A = this chain, B = another copy of it.
Amino acid sequence: MDVIEQPKSLAEQTHDILLNAISSGELAPGERLNQDLIAARLSVSRQPVNSAISVLKSNGFVEDTGRRGVVVSQISLDQFVSLYEFRLAIEPFAVRLAHERKPNDAHRESQDMLKRGWRAVRSQDPVSQIEIDFEFHQMIYDWAGNATIADTMRMHWHHIRRAMGVVLRQGVPSQNSWEEHERIIDALMGGDVERAEEETRRHMKNALAKTAAVLPQT
């Protein structure tokens, strides 16, 4: 039996809405967040908005200007290099854990995921491409059975989304990504951990290269 969960507070809803707007690029880097405006737009008072902004600030999505209020954090190239370097350590490790712990229906689940991935590629819709890309990696974290990896990557993913949006909007195709995903799954299902790890590392390096080529122009 499930526990009863009460509806999210206005502060949490406000946070989620703002975070989504930032991650999707709807709120551009450097853009100011005006508490009165946001409160009016969401039909709430400034109190939950203020609370939501505190949380965003603590997680690095917005920055203090020192003057009045906060602005959406910049997407710096350095930051993304460091983030992908980080993933270069975590993702292959997650794949190794996934190899050891993946559930019985992993094959079916992954084929399903790949199918959805290719469908998103064909759709050429950046939003669904970004979404399903995360779902793919989340599936791996899930198989890895490590809550810290899942939590940490969920946080970082919002930053990744921002950069990925920039990349995809520039018309860079995501087809390669899904070929790489396929190779990772292929190795994993075949029980070849070493190759799965290696393919994952390659996937990370390619993703970084694609992003790095586009980001400085922004």
Contact = CB atoms under 8 A, between A and B. Distances in A.
A89 B82 contact: no
Interface stretch (A51-59, A126-134, A167-175): A51-59
Contact of A148 (B11, B51, B54, B79): B79
Interface stretch (A2-10, A23-31, A108-116): A2-10
Residues of A contacting B: mostly: helix
Contacts of A58: 15, 55, 58-59
Contact of A54 (B6, B11, B79, B82): B11
A93 B88 CA distance: 9
A187 interface: no
A58 B151 CA distance: 11
Contacts of A15: 58
